[in-house]
Amino acid sequence: MYESKIKFLSRVWPNHRVTSGGREFKVVCPKCGDKSRPDKRKLCIRLDNDLYHCWVCDLKGRSVSRLIRKVKPALAASYQSQFGQVKFQEHQEDFVKCELPRGFRLVMDNLYDPDAKRVRRYAHTRGITDSELWRFRVGYSPELRRRMILPSFDENGVLNYWTARRCDSNPDWRYLNAKVPKTQFVVGELDLDWSAEEIVIVEGPTDLIKCSLLNATCLLGSTLSENSELFRKLITYPERIVLALDDDARKKQDKIASLLMSFDKEVYWVTPPRDSDWGDLDPCDVYDKMQIKYQYTSNTKLMNLIQDL
């Protein structure tokens, strides 16, 4: 069943062993293995879904092409083009369809409407331009009056989520969100390039709007679930992941970084703006700040803990 993949991987690891009825490909770990002892094949590659794991050093991940790059870099791109589209098993029976609020309309298409004008004025106070209102398909609805609605679409252009932010000073329910599980979608995926080497992660939709000059998505909070679609794609596609959470979420950001690094991902962080959030900045300022980033290492979390003492 996996003959072609086994044949390809044999070019990378001549000393290997196929087990579990032809479903697992065991090799010497490129991180901790002793190449003089080819019998010590402690890294296992699952041929059905491309997950790999070393039972000694706990090296693990989802991108076999990235693993190949550590051994025979010249073959990595060829593997990705032939076998790199393996996907996680999806549970369609649990999928919840998302629908826009009744009467949803684009703000910029209906500026004769006082409700649209109100949302536009609020957007301008947050530094959101007319161009960004168009690009991010910002809307409003008579069902959710005085709210700026930010829709999200998947890679096929299908609605997968929306959030509605109150535009006035009423303190009740600042945000209303689509009633779909946050684990089943990636915010703004239609505008994401999964083939890019780097993806930026921010906290919320307003922050994401200010990342219009970057390849970015958001968490809808400050945590990342291993069961989420976003997590599955992050460990599958980009080489580098830049975490840009707000300053008050640094400990949670460290936890996310540790999780992604355990899957052999390169993770970076950027210094958050002082006395404000990313959503308060101009997109050009956000872009400039994102160019100065620092790579997470095994000591980064420890250094942060020491600073907190």
Residue 1, pLDDT > 70, answer no
> Helix or strand or coil: residue 74?
helix
Using the 8-state DSSP alphabet, how is residue 271 labeled?
P
Are domains 93-182 and 192-308 of this chain identical in fold? no
What was the pLDDT predicted at 41? 79
Residues 143-160 have a mean pLDDT of 94
Domain ranges of the chain: 3-83, 93-182, 192-308
pTM of the model: 0.75
Q: In terms of pLDDT, which residue wins out, 249 or 298?
A: 249
Residue 36, pLDDT > 80, answer no
- pLDDT tier for residue 240 given thresholds of 50, 70 and 90: very high
Give the tens place of pLDDT for each residue, 246-291: 888 889 999 999 999 888 789 999 999 988 889 999 999 999 999 9
What was the pLDDT predicted at 30? 86
CATH: 3.40.50.2300, 3.90.980.10, 3.30.70.270, 3.40.50.620. Which one for 93-182?
A: 3.90.980.10
What was the pLDDT predicted at 91? 45
Residue 306, pLDDT > 50, answer no
Region of poorest pLDDT, from 49-53, 64-68, 231-235, 305-309:
305-309
What was the pLDDT predicted at 127? 92
What was the pLDDT predicted at 224? 95
Residues 99-104 have a mean pLDDT of 96
- Alpha-helix residue ranges (DSSP H) falling in the chain: 3-12, 64-69, 76-83, 114-125, 130-135, 205-209, 229-234, 250-261, 283-290, 300-308
Give the tens place of pLDDT for each residue, 198-234: 999 999 999 999 999 999 999 998 999 988 999 989 9
- pLDDT tier for residue 38 given thresholds of 50, 70 and 90: low
What was the pLDDT predicted at 303? 54
Alpha carbon distance 279, 200 (integer Å): 14
Residue 120, pLDDT > 50, answer yes
Residue 241, pLDDT > 80, answer yes
Alpha carbon distance 16, 39 (integer Å): 8
Residues 58-83 have a mean pLDDT of 85
Residues 96-100 have a mean pLDDT of 93
Q: In terms of pLDDT, which residue wins out, 162 or 85?
A: 162
Q: Which residues contact 117 (CB under 8 A, 6 or more apart)?
A: 111
Residue 78, pLDDT > 70, answer yes
What was the pLDDT predicted at 93? 45
Residues 78-88 have a mean pLDDT of 72
Sign of the four-CA dihedral 261, 266, 270, 272: negative
Q: What DSSP element (H or E) covers 136?
A: none
Residues 234-248 have a mean pLDDT of 89
CATH number of 192-308: 3.40.1360.10
Distance of CA 262 to the CA centre of its chain: 16
What was the pLDDT predicted at 129? 95
Give the CATH architecture of domain 3-83: Alpha-Beta Complex (3.90)
